[in-house]
Amino acid sequence: MIKLEQFTQADFKQLIEWIKDEELLMNWSGSLFSFPLTESSLAWYIEDTNDPLTSDAFVYKAIDTDTNEVVGHISLGGLSRKNRSARISRVLVGDTQQRGRGVCQGMIQAVLQIGFEELGLHRIDLGVYDFNKGAIGCYTKAGMVVEGTSRDILYYNGSYWSLTEMSMLDAEWEARYGKVKAPALATV
């Protein structure tokens, strides 16, 4: 089982150790960060995050509850209180020994639960590079629906990468997981 906890400065070193090469960084973050990942870039990344009343981004470490080990990273950002929507991003199963064991699906379910049940969102979406079939399979198993592909959205190392867009609505969450959603977020 996976639980999410706030990603803090104490977690920077581990994430930096997981992001060993530029291609992995690009796959994880698009053009948000430059390689190598640094503590100063991560300090910027977590500024003003994780406050349910004011933040538009929530950044988490994923913990395996059986071992109490940190196994991944995920964020929920681009929060629009008016539209009751947000976007999952920067999903990483950092412990390569855990890949293929349901960790990704557990991370997605946990962040969806926060979004729908705690934040009262209506729509949560994400984008994943179309060659990342493992991630697309994970997101599909968690209930995300493919909406389409943004073609040639990122140019990296001599070629273009296309982005598969996926989403889930609160009614789909409720039908799949039987959970009651939270009241809608206050608009600011």
Find the CATH number of the domain harbouring 117.
3.40.630.30
User: Considering the domain boundaries, does residue 78 fall inside one?
Assistant: yes
| φ, ψ dihedrals at 103, nearest 5° | -65, -45
Distance CA 31, CA 13 (A): 20
CA 3 to chain centre: 13
Write out pLDDT tens, residues 105-136. Answer: 999 999 999 999 999 999 999 999 999 999 99
Residue 185 forms part of a structural domain: no
Q: What's the token pair of residue 62?
A: 């994923």
Average pLDDT, whole number, for the chain? 92
What is the total count of domains within the chain? 1
**Residue 176: Cβ within 10 Å count:** 13
* CA dist., res. 114 & res. 37, Å (int): 27
In terms of pLDDT, which residue wins out, 186 or 161? Answer: 161
* Domain with 17 in it: 2-177
pLDDT beyond 70 at 180: no
Say what the pLDDT of residue 72 is. Answer: 96
pLDDT band at 95 (very low <50, low <70, confident <90, very high): confident
Highest mean pLDDT among 22-31, 112-121, 177-186: 112-121
pTM of the model: 0.91
Is residue 187 situated within a structural domain?
Answer: no
CB 149 within 8 A of CB 131: no
186 located within any domain: no
Name the H helices within the chain: 12-18, 22-29, 39-45, 103-113, 133-141, 170-177
Contacts of 90 (CB under 8 A, 6+ apart): 28, 29, 32, 59, 73, 74, 75
**CB-based contact 75:101 (threshold 8 Å):** no
Residue pLDDT, tens place only, 65-85: 999 999 999 999 999 999 999
**Residue 184 forms part of a structural domain:** no
Q: Quick one: pLDDT at residue 188? A: 39
User: β-strands 123-129, 85-93: how paired?
Assistant: parallel
pLDDT of amino acid 31: 86
The pLDDT of residue 182 is above 90 = no
Q: Answer yes or no: is pLDDT of 146 > 70.
A: yes
Residue position matching structure tokens 């090469």:
21
